[in-house]
Every structure is written in structure tokens, then in C-alpha cells.
Amino acid sequence: MFSLSQPKILIIEDHLATLDAIRMIFEFEGYFTMNLSDTIDLHAKIAAFQPDIILIDTLLGMTDGRAICTELKLSVHASIPILLMSARNGINNSTYYRTHWDDYIEKPFSMDAITQRVRMLLSKKAH
């Protein structure tokens, strides 16, 4: 059972070491996390977990994380902020930026940088 005071983060990353590192960052900060390495049954998992924010990598094996962002923003989950993570430069200049995801962070990122972005998105959502 989850506390209403502790934000829930859904982390979608197929590189397991990166997924584990991100999970540890946010659990250390007091967040609850659900960690996925693929997008199988994603809508059902989101409905069950009810995350406050979603962090998703751009490349998930053969799946384009940007397409998943678009799918989520056109679904019942549209109000959930999405932080797109990528090792690719220039994605933040994409025409989809800010319409299909809410913010972008380039890998590698520091613990402070990603936690600051998440706090900012959660603060915007609260207002």
C-alpha cells in the first residue's frame, strides 16, 4: 500500500544497470518506484500503479520511447507528466517536444539534475 504523501515514479528503461541506478536515486529520495524494462501491458500497469510521473528512455530495444510518450499523451493517462531520457543529442529540439512529453534530460545525468527535473514536473502538476 502506498502513502499519499510519497510520490510514485514509473521508470521505463531497458538497460537494467541504468534502471537500477535510477530506482536507487529515487528510492533514496523517498519516492515509490515501479520499474519496467519493457512496455508490455503498459496501460494496465499504469492504471494499477497510478504513478505521479513517468520516466522513459527513448530507446527500449526495438520500441521508440517517443512513440510510447505520444501514445500515453493521447490516452486516459495524458495528465501524467513524462520525463524523456536519452543519450541522443537534439531530441529536445524535436517538433514533438512539450506536446508528447513534458521534459527531457540527456544521459548521462547527475542525481541532482534528474531529481530536480522530477520535482519541477511534480510541482507543475500540483498547480
pLDDT at 5: 73
Q: What is the pLDDT of residue 2?
A: 45
19 CB-side CA count, 13 A? 18
**Is 2 a domain residue?**
no
Domain-located, residue 1? no
Q: How far apart are the C-alpha atoms of 113 and 75, rounded to whole Å?
A: 28
- The answer to whether position 3 is within a domain reads no
Domain count, the chain: 1
The torsion region of residue 17 among left (phi > 0), alpha (psi -120 to 50) and beta comes to alpha
Regions of the chain with pLDDT less than 50: 1-3
Instruction: Determine the pLDDT at residue 93.
Output: 59
Its domain, for residue 24, covers: 8-126
Task: Give 87-114 pLDDT, tens digit per residue.
Answer: 876 665 555 555 688 998 999 999 999 9
Could you tell me the CATH number of the domain that includes residue 13? Answer: 3.40.50.2300
